[in-house]
Structures are given as structure tokens and as C-alpha cells.
Structure 1
Amino acid sequence: MVSERGLQVLRAIVQDYVDTREPVGSKSIVDRHAFGVSAATIRNDMALLEEEELIEAPHTSSGRVPTDKGYRVFVDHLAEIRPLSTAQRQAIASFLEAPGDLDDTLVRTVRVLSQLTGQVALVQYPSFARATVTHVELVQLGGGRMLVIVVTDTGRVSQRLALVGDEFDETELGRIRAELGTLLVGRAVRDGLARISDHLSADSRVPAPLEEATAAVLRVVAEELDEFRQDRLVMAGSANLARREADFRGSISPLLEAIEEQVTLLRLMGEMVADEQGLAASIGRENEAFGLTEASVLASDYDSTVARARIGVLGPTRMDYPTNLASVRAVARYLSRLLEEDEAAR
């Protein structure tokens, strides 16, 4: 059982180690923090923390550094997460307020979060399986190519190219549009996929060129709607890992692979347990099942119009947890508000 002063000493060690990257000794704690006790007393407290495996000596006759367990206790005992400065909040607002669709908003979101924290920033796309298709548009580009535009009620807009082989006049194009509208407009994404599948497997009395073009367009739309249902991440700041490579005890290759493949990070973010504030942290060896024992992930829930998803940061265990948690929470809240306002405006 760690005493209250022991927790304060642990807090001082974490803060000083994050600030200096140097192991922390009892004398420096006495010099830098107002504990009102001797260095010998602090050494006794540090010995107890070491027994609890909350700190360790990286080498003989050195100061102490936090362990993964120590970081966990530090995060769990944060009295409060200090708010961001006015300047930081203004930076978030100015960066995110520019008009744009959801894709653009999420890209700008991870960029500002990466800039605030100096870590890799991650944001999950919300699942759009319950989104509703509101519009499908076709634009002939010539050469048998057709641009297919799909819009949902969440503001998601996709543009894909379909190869239809022929050119069509406005009457024929209108028939294809009408067919798409009947199948998809006003339908949920998952329902639209089912209707496309049924249509493609059914016999049709539509003239062959039109039926082939409609089928080609529907296959492209089906691919896009299926992607709407998939979990995926938008990320920014991967170069920060290389800049902070000295903070990792081993190779950063597993982190780079996780960033490239996304599946591991999606699983990890999905399994993290949030507190009453919607914040979650997974630290060091807690990530062993995901092959990311060298890293910490901090995340916060945000609300979209159709689902709850997560935004967070990935970085070394030696990070400024209070500031990074505050940044993640602030950006998540601003993103939720922005998406809510955007939905209300439509």
C-alpha cells in the first residue's frame, strides 16, 4: 500500500523524468519540490516505491525512473486533468472551424492533436452502417468512364470511378439514376448493400447495355458502402516516433507496423476501458497482447451523429500524461460539438 506522500514522490519522479529524460534522485526531488522532509526520508519513500515495482534503477548507482506500473498508478491518481490554455483552445477552434466534409474534418482533427501533443494522433471513423443514403449522382467522363457520387445523411461523401463501357444519352442516364435511387436513396447503408446484392442476382428486363452499366455502377457503390461499414483510422504525426526514438527501450518497428496495418490499433482502441469522463489509457506492458509493450495509448470517446467512436494519441510510455489527456479530451469534445452543429445545420 503506497502512502499519500509516496504517491506525491511518485508524481514528482514521473514529472521530473518526463521533463529531463534523466533518472531522478532523492536530492533533486528535495531541491525541486517542497516536501519539507530530508533527502533520507525521500530515499526511504523511494525504496518503498521500488518494492512496489513502481520505480526502478536503469543502472547501478543511478536515480530512479517510473515503471509501466508506476505510470499506471500515476495516471489513476491524477487529482485532475489540467485544462488547456486559452491559446491552445483557440488553436483547436481555428484549425477545425474551416468548412469541409467529415473526411476533411477528421484529417484536420488528427493534425491539430498531433501538433498539441507531439505524438501520433489517431481518430476512428464512426461506423456508418446505420447511416442513410441521401443522394446518388452520376457524371459521365467520356471513354466509358462514369463518376459515381454517394452522399449519406452523416455528411459522408464518396466519389468512385466506374467503367461502364458505353456512353449514354440523358434519357438512358436518367433510367440508371432512377434505378439507383429506388434501390438506395432513403435506405440505411446495410439495407442498401442487401438490396444491391438482390438486384445483381435477379433477372432483369432492362436492355443489356443499360443493365451492364447499372450493374457496374452498383458494384462500385457496394464496395463503397461496404467500406462505410468498416472501422478505420485517420492518423497524423508518425514522424514523431522517429524523433522520439530515444524514449523507446527497443525497436519502434512494431509501432510502425501497427500504424501501417491499423487492425491492431483498432482492436486496442476498441478494448480500452474508459472512465466516467470517457478517457482511457493503456500503458506499456498492458499492450503486450497487441505487441506494443513499448508504447502508451491515450483515448477519449467522441460522439458523431450515428455512433460513438474514439480519438487518441500513441507514443512512448515516457510522455506528459496530464497534458496529453487534456488535449485528447479537449479535441474530442470540440469534434463532438462540431459534428453536432454540422448535423443541426443540415
Structure 2
Amino acid sequence: MASSLDHLKKFTTVVADTGDFEGTMVLTQASTSLAIKKYAPVDATTNPSLILLASRMTQYSHLIDEAVKYGKQSKDPDSQVNAAFDRVFVLFGNEILKCIPGRVSTEVDSCYSFDTSKQVEVARHLISMYEDMGVSKDRILIKLSSTWEGIQAAKILESQYGIHCNLTLMFSLCQAVACAEAGVTLISPFVGRVLDWYVAKHGKRTFERLEDPGVQLVTKIYNYYKTYGYKTQIMGASFRNREQILGLTGCDLLTIAPSLLEELAQLKELPEPYLNKEKTISAMGDKSDARPPPMNEATFRWLLNEDEMATDKLCDGVRRFAKDANTLRDLLRDRLKAL
């Protein structure tokens, strides 16, 4: 009998959420040694937290060494750290691409989340480094925070430079709508962090599969996109349990941590897809020729402000990724000083 993971792959593109391409990272106490190679995902995602975790593992020390040597070519200490920092992400991404047929997501430092021009600059630099390694930009998704500035940066990158973007730290429909209108390639709603907020705020810890607030958010976005004919892909992310994953069977893509990939590989439940484009259009109609007027900045900021959960989690996510990015910079700074 097929596993739940095999079944899921019939309806959804499965993506590995890890920087550990060799698969020796233990992400939870219950997890075993897991690998990108073992579960054969199509794509892979990384973020500063995952790269920081992987960079502390001895089997990847050669990549850190290579990044430090690259950074050392810059003139002043701060420039050396920044050069090494960008290089680390590209080196890990390049190695991951050797293990998958599809794309890898590489993130722009979230400290630039409110600076459109800086995000464009860094994104173009990352793509340039990939291309110098012989990697086509079509295999890279540049990850940007789903702030107004991040969405505008993605619009520029997509329309002017043909650089595909993955908008992350997404917690609301207004963020998703703004991304679709900007022509973004892919969005990543954070299912688990939505649940975390509701647990902390209201105390309820368990939900039925389709009642989970994170699952409901992705379902709402999915139905909106399919009803209005947007091409932006939806990739559910940040899962806390397998029920959330199974509840989004049929979503365009799901990025899943190795520990949960292992659970799904052992499970035999075979649910029908809860998300289905044809069923959505049949129920809600095809409104691709009747889209609402484009969202402007004032409307975006107001709608986000009115969504307490989305506002809290977006700000918290930016801070968390920035903190881990700074920790990684400190690690690289120490290595540079030791040379």
C-alpha cells in the first residue's frame, strides 16, 4: 500500500524544508537521520535559521571555509562578513540543487524587509553568484518577506529582471492578494506559526484537520487565487504536525521538514485532495475577468493592521530571521578574524 507521502505527491509538489542536504540533521527528538535524497522532493527551501543550524555541523565546515575565503577578498571587515554571508547561502543552495530536479529558495536578509531597493540589490547579487557557478536563475526562487516593500521588490525583480520570487512570512489574505497582483511566482503562508498564535492567544491546542486556523488561511488564499485566475503558486510552509499537511492535500506545493516527511512516509492514510481547482471554480465561479481593483499601499497597510495575528507574526518573523542572520554573521566574523 502506498504511503501518505507517495499519495500526497500525486496532488501536490513536495518540497524539502532544510539546509541539510546530506540528511544528518536531527530536527526533533523523535526524528531520525533524514535526507533530501531519501524523500525525492522536487524543490527545496532554506532560510537563515536552517542555514545557521546546518553551518554548525562539521560535515558542512568546508562550505563555511569556502565562504570565508570568498569574503576575505573584500577590503574592510564589514564588507568581508557581508560577502561571506551571501556566499554561504549560495553555496548551500548550489549543493542542494545537485540533489533535486527543481528549484531552491534562497532568502534575502530580513533586516532589509522594509527597504525595497536594497532587497532588489541583494537579490540580483545572489542570482549573479549562482550564475557564476553555472546555475540558471530559473532554478532559484528569491525569498523576500511579505511586507509592502518586499512585495514591491518582488514586482521589480519579476517584471524587470525575470527573477522568480518566493514571498515568505505570509499570514493574511491581504498579503497574498498584493503578491498575486504584483505577479509574484510563489507565496509561502506559514501554517504552523498561525496555529502558534491562536494557541498562545486563546489557549486551544488541538483542532480538527480542516478547522486548524493555518489550514483555513491557506484554503482561503487557494480559493481566492483559483476563483480570480491568478497564476501565483501557493506553497504551505511551517507545519507543526502531519494533520496540517494532510488537510492541505491538493495545494500547489507544500514545504515539509524532514521529520514530518518521515512521518508521512510511514503513514498509510490516503485522503482525497481537499484543495481542488475545478471544485473551487465550480462552487465559486470563474471570476478571472472580474478581479477587484488593485490594492494600493494604504489599503494593504490598513488591512494588515486590522489583522492582529498577521501583524504580530510578520513582525515576529522578521525579528527571528534577522536574529539568526546576525548570529550567522557573528560566526563568519570569528572565522574571518582567525584567518
| TMscore range, shorter length | under 0.3
Length-normalised TM-score, structure 1: 0.25
The structure where strand makes up a greater share of residues is 1
The structure where helix makes up a greater share of residues is 2
Length-normalised TM-score, structure 2: 0.25
Structure number with greater CO (CA < 8 Å, separation at least 6) is 2
Q: Which has the larger radius of gyration?
A: 1
